[in-house]
Amino acid sequence: MATSIHLADTLKEKGLTHRILLIEKGSSIGSHILSGAVIKADVFKSLLPDVEFSDIPLNSIVTSDKTVLLSENGSFTLPVHVPYMNNSGNYTASLSHICRYLAKIAEEKGVEIYTGFSVSEILYADGKVIGAKTIDTGIDHNGNKLENFQPGSRIEAKLTIFAEGTRGSLAKQLIKKYDLEKDKNCQVYSLGVKELWSVPEGNIKPGEVYHTMGYPLNLKEFGGGFVYGLKDNKVAVGLVVGLDYEDPTFDAHDAFQAWKTNPFISKFLKGGKMVEYGAKTLPEGGFYSIPKLYTDNALIVGDSAGLLAMPALKGVHLAITSGMMAAKTAAMALSKNDFSESMLSQYESLINDSIIYKELYPVRNFRQSFSKGLILGAMHFGTQLITGGAGFFGRLEAHPDSETTKTLSEFKGKPFKERFKGKLEFDKVLTFDKATDVFHSGVAHDEKQVPHVRINNPESFNTINIKQYGAMEQFFCSSEVYELHTDKNGHQELRIHFENCMHCKTCDIKSPGDGITWSVPNGGNGPDFQNM
C-alpha cells in the first residue's frame, strides 16, 4: 500500500502518468492483515506529508511500557528496558484498520486496487519477469474444470513489485529462480498467535504495553508474549514463538492458551470476551537473511524481503520504508523506461541509506545467537551490543526451521503435552481450543478448488513426517488444517482441512523432509480479520 501511494505521489511530481495496480488476495483490504501492533508511526509523516497525523487511525500513544519475566504462576517486572524494546513515542494500532485507511488514500491518488484476487503465478518472457497471473477458478479438487471455470487474469507490467508479506509464495519462487539468496543466510521465522479481547473498563488502559519473557517457553525456545492496551476497552494479546524449536509435538496455539493462565496475563482478560483470533509468521533472520531485492523488472518489499527488526518486534515501519524506496526506484525506472537489474539496483542503495540498514545492521547477529538457547544467546547478544553487532565470531549462520526439529526418538526433552499437563483443558472462557479460535477468525474457503496446501512427496511424507516426526503438522498448525487419521488396520495418513487455513504459512516453513508447499487459494478465501 505504501509502495503504491508513494509511487503515485512521485509520478505526479515528475509529471508522469502510469497505471498502478495493487492486487490483494483478501476479500477486502485488511482482511488478511494481522500484526501486534505497536508501531513506530513517524514513518507516516514521510509517507503522507499532506495528511494531518491525527487523521491516521492509530489507536493510542504508548503510555507505559514494561518487560515482564514470567514463571508458570509468577511474574517479575524488569526495572529496565531490554535493548531495542523501548516503545516511548510509538503507538498501539490495528494494522487492518491502517491498511483500510491507506487504501482509501491510494484510490484517491488513482491506484487501482483489486481485492479478492489471488496471484498464483509469475509471468516470464525471455527468462525475465513480465508480470503475474491470478489463479484459475472453477476447478474441482482434482484439477478438473467445472461449469463456472474462469481462467485467471494475465497482468503484464513493466515492473512487478512483490509485497506478499511473510514467506511470500511467489517471492519464494522468484528468490529460487534467480538465486537471490546466494551468499545470504536462509530466512528463519517465528509464528505469532493473537487474540483480540473486549474487557471490562479498568482492566487495562489504552497505550499500556507489556512484553513478556519466560513462561510458557523454556530456555531453549525463543520468543515471548505481548499485551497491548487499546481504546474502547480492547486488548490485543499474543505469543510469538521462534520456529527453530526442537520438540515435534510443540503447539504454539496451545502454548499461547497456557500463557494466558499466568495471573499476570489473566488479570487483563478477567470478565472479558475474546472477539477475534488469528496467526501469522514473521521473518526474523535479520540483515544477513535479506535476499538480493531486485532482478530485471521486479523488486521485493516488506516482510517478503525479510525486512523486520526482531529485537524490537517491528516490521511495519520498515515495510513502509522499503515500499517508499521501491516506489522511488520505480519512478526513476519509469522515467528512463529502463527496468534492468542495473537500474533497479538503486533500490538496494536507497535501502542501505535508510533506517532499514541503520536498524538491522547493528543487530545482524541477533536471532542467530539465540539458536543455541536463551542463556548463550543473551551472553552472545551482550557481546554484540559492545562490538556494534559483530560479537566475537563475526557473521553467524542460520539454519532452516524445517531442519531444527528432532524426531520423536531423538527428542529427549519433556514432550509438550506433559509440560503443560492440566493447562490444556480449555474452559472456553479464558482459554480456547483451536476450533473455537478458528471460528473467531472468520476463515472461509470455497469447497471446490485444488487444495492450496500440498504434500510435496507423499511417499517420504509417510516414512519421515508421520513415522519419525509423529505428524508434527497437526501440532504446529495454528488452525487445525492437519489431522492425523488412523484407520482400523493401523494405517496412518494426514488429512488436510484446507478450509480452516489462516494463511500463516507455518507448514511451508516448518514441515520437515520434503515438506509442504503453501500456495494461494481462490481469491477472497482465507481469514476475514476486522481489527487485527
Ligand X SMILES: Cc1cc2nc3c(=O)[nH]c(=O)nc-3n(C[C@H](O)[C@H](O)[C@H](O)COP(=O)(O)OP(=O)(O)OC[C@H]3O[C@@H](n4cnc5c(N)ncnc54)[C@H](O)[C@@H]3O)c2cc1C
Q: What's the rounded Cα separation, in Å, for the pair 44 and 26?
A: 23
- Shortest Å distance, C-beta 87 to ligand X: 9
Nearer Cβ to ligand X (113/240): 240
Nearer Cβ to ligand X (122/374): 122
Q: What's the rounded Cα separation, in Å, for the pair 39 and 187?
A: 23
- Shortest Å distance, C-beta 81 to ligand X: 15
- Shortest Å distance, C-beta 323 to ligand X: 7
Nearer Cβ to ligand X (39/501): 39
Interaction site with ligand X (CB under 6 A): 23-26, 32-39, 95, 118-119, 163-166, 168-170, 192, 194, 238, 240, 280, 282, 302-304, 308, 313-317, 319, 520
Cis amide linkage into residue 37, ω under 30° from 0: yes
Nearer Cβ to ligand X (214/302): 302
User: In which residue are the cell numbers 531490554 written?
Assistant: 82
DSSP conformation class of 25: S
Contacts 24+ apart (CB under 8 A), 423-430: 423/257, 423/258, 423/261, 424/254, 424/257, 424/258, 426/257, 430/260, 430/261, 430/266, 430/269
- Shortest Å distance, C-beta 322 to ligand X: 8
- Shortest Å distance, C-beta 292 to ligand X: 17
Nearer Cβ to ligand X (112/397): 112
Nearer Cβ to ligand X (253/317): 317
- Shortest Å distance, C-beta 431 to ligand X: 18
Nearer Cβ to ligand X (227/466): 227
- Shortest Å distance, C-beta 495 to ligand X: 25
Nearer Cβ to ligand X (67/465): 67
- Shortest Å distance, C-beta 462 to ligand X: 30
What is the Cβ-side half-sphere exposure of residue 372, based on CA atoms within 13 angstroms?
11
Residue 280 CB contacts under 8 Å (≥ 6 apart), including other chains: 34, 35, 165, 166, 191, 192, 502, 503, 504, 505
- Shortest Å distance, C-beta 198 to ligand X: 19
Residue 327 parent element (H or E): helix 316-336
Nearest to 179 by CA among 119, 127, 135: 127
Return the residue nearest ligand X (CB atom): 315
Residue 300 parent element (H or E): strand 298-300
CB 67 within 8 A of CB 502: no
Buried b (16+ CB within 10 A) or exposed e, 129-157: bbbbbbbbbbbeeeeeeeeeeeebeebeb
- Shortest Å distance, C-beta 239 to ligand X: 8
Beta bridge mates, 160: 298
The size of the chain, in residues, is 532
Nearer Cβ to ligand X (380/505): 505
Question: CB neighbours (10 Å) of residue 459?
Answer: 9
Nearer Cβ to ligand X (169/506): 169
Strand 482-486 with 492-496, pairing:
antiparallel
Q: What's the rounded Cα separation, in Å, for the pair 332 and 342?
A: 12
